[in-house]
Structure 1
């Protein structure tokens, strides 16, 4: 007899009463390789054994030049519970980013909820940043980072839940410091932020709002509600200490999270943070459209904006 469903979070995953998890999307993987289209090489590197955590590194063809390249540390999306660094969606996207921006990329393969609930993803992402920083003297464990990565020009970025992680890593670097790693900018793509009171054009439908809270509770059992600083930056007293003075936020007109991206700009400015934030909205598009349809005109334009940010 088939196990009964305990919690249904379609279209992402289902949790069954016998404890097993059925992920409905984001399960495909591709190996690291040399990409014929872009000339970008990639490899998987384990940087922690307990817990077992790895990252996929990307090296553009132009890395043969003597000058060290900017480093992008990327956190994939998927609601903290689906997708991986080896997903074809992210593998193809980061091949393109590495090639077009001419940057080295570290894509963090953090542990996922619900098997490993938050703060596991935050802890793994922090461990990844510490590992990256261990290359500051050019004698770290990975040759690609030693030889090609400029740790004085590091960018943090992610989409959706990954943008949430990038935000929290920016806060942690701001408070805990991280010797040997200088963050030149943070890019948040359709960030997963929320709150108890609707902002802007955000939905007021109580069922949809309750679902978002329930979903976050699945990912983080210690979650205290919609105004928990995990998903509501406005509630975080340390927001003004965000480590970078350059923030780029992408939002999409049809995305349920659109207004939160705009509101992030507002609460940042109120927090005492003294940097520069730019919000770029794509009309007529929905959440992470650029990953679903990377060749469409709006995705190409969005890539140009991201590349410019990484090259300034």
Structure 2
């Protein structure tokens, strides 16, 4: 068998190196990062700052607030708890792509965004990221931070994520569907091309995508699990009461789909009575259509 080339090696495609102890080395220069911008200015329509969530787990979040709201308005805004992409094994809140996206989202949608970090696999396999998502939600719920207290409407909260972050948003959401979180109230889930999978999909994707997806699941799932584990394939979860509870809760759920398993999850939610919107369009680099769909969802689901 010939050795894989850099163009087909999933480690090289992702930009990571496998270490003998099972950990991976991530190239910190591969994707540029961006600092927070806490001072409002004419060139800065959104202010942002970094806050520690858990000293123990080294998790944190970056808060984004529209500058006009920070300076002149007492109106409290919808709060979006956002989780970044990266297949559960790479990326960070402060990567330029996610920083720019959250800036744009806060400005265009006139919302407060809390972009939360989570521990990465394989050093911390699932459900560590889900636990960190819970920590972020609880931090917001109990926060004494001035920006949260003055500008975020805790009665109007959405959990959102892209790729692995979409998977994380879904799994954090279902953990809380039976919970009383007052004064915080979840109004819905926004799942942007969520990273779901299943064994039956392996033959339906191109070789490189298949290799990268398989590697991500191998590194992040519990030892011995395959893509039909409930963390990767929610359709195998034998808990119909969760879906029914989401339906009864009145949550709005948006699923932006790019693959079969995402459509399967959306179909399952529809069948169980969830008020669900399926949107095919939406891209971090071209978000206009996505923002229009999110804006409509937020307006329709806003508490009276």
Same fold (TM over 0.5): yes
1:255 matched residue in structure 2:
none
Question: Which runs of no fewer than 5 residues in structure 2 stay unpaired?
Answer: 1-8
Q: Does 1:60 align with 2:66?
A: yes
**Structure 1 residue 97: deviation in Å?**
0.5
Q: Deviations over 1:83-124 (max 9, x none)?
A: 111111010001010011111110001111122222221111
SS of aligned partner of 1:290: coil
**Structure 1 residue 174: deviation in Å?**
1.0
1:31 matched residue in structure 2:
35
- Cα pair distance change 1:308/1:250, threshold 3 Å: same
The structure with the largest helix share of the pair is 2
Q: Does 1:51 align with 2:57?
A: yes
| Map 1:172-183 → 2, pairs under 5 A | 172-183=175-186
In 1, Cα distance between equivalents of 2:280 and 2:206: 23
Q: Does 1:187 align with 2:180?
A: no
| Map 1:1-312 → 2, pairs under 5 A | 9-12=11-14, 13-17=16-20, 21-24=24-27, 27-33=31-37, 34=39, 37-63=43-69, 64-134=72-142, 140-198=143-201, 203=204, 212-222=213-223, 224-238=225-239, 239-240=242-243, 241-242=245-246, 245-252=251-258, 258-270=259-271, 272=272, 274-282=273-281, 290-291=283-284, 293-294=285-286, 299-312=287-300
The number of residues matched between the two structures is 281
- Cα pair distance change 1:265/1:23, threshold 3 Å: same
**Maintained 8 Å contact 1:62/1:102:** no
2:6 matched residue in structure 1:
none
**Maintained 8 Å contact 2:109/2:291:** no
**Structure 1 residue 249: deviation in Å?**
1.1
In 2, Cα distance between equivalents of 1:131 and 1:157: 16
- Cα pair distance change 1:308/1:149, threshold 3 Å: same
2:4 matched residue in structure 1:
none
User: Aligned Cα RMSD in Å?
Assistant: 2.6
**Structure 1 residue 224: deviation in Å?**
2.0
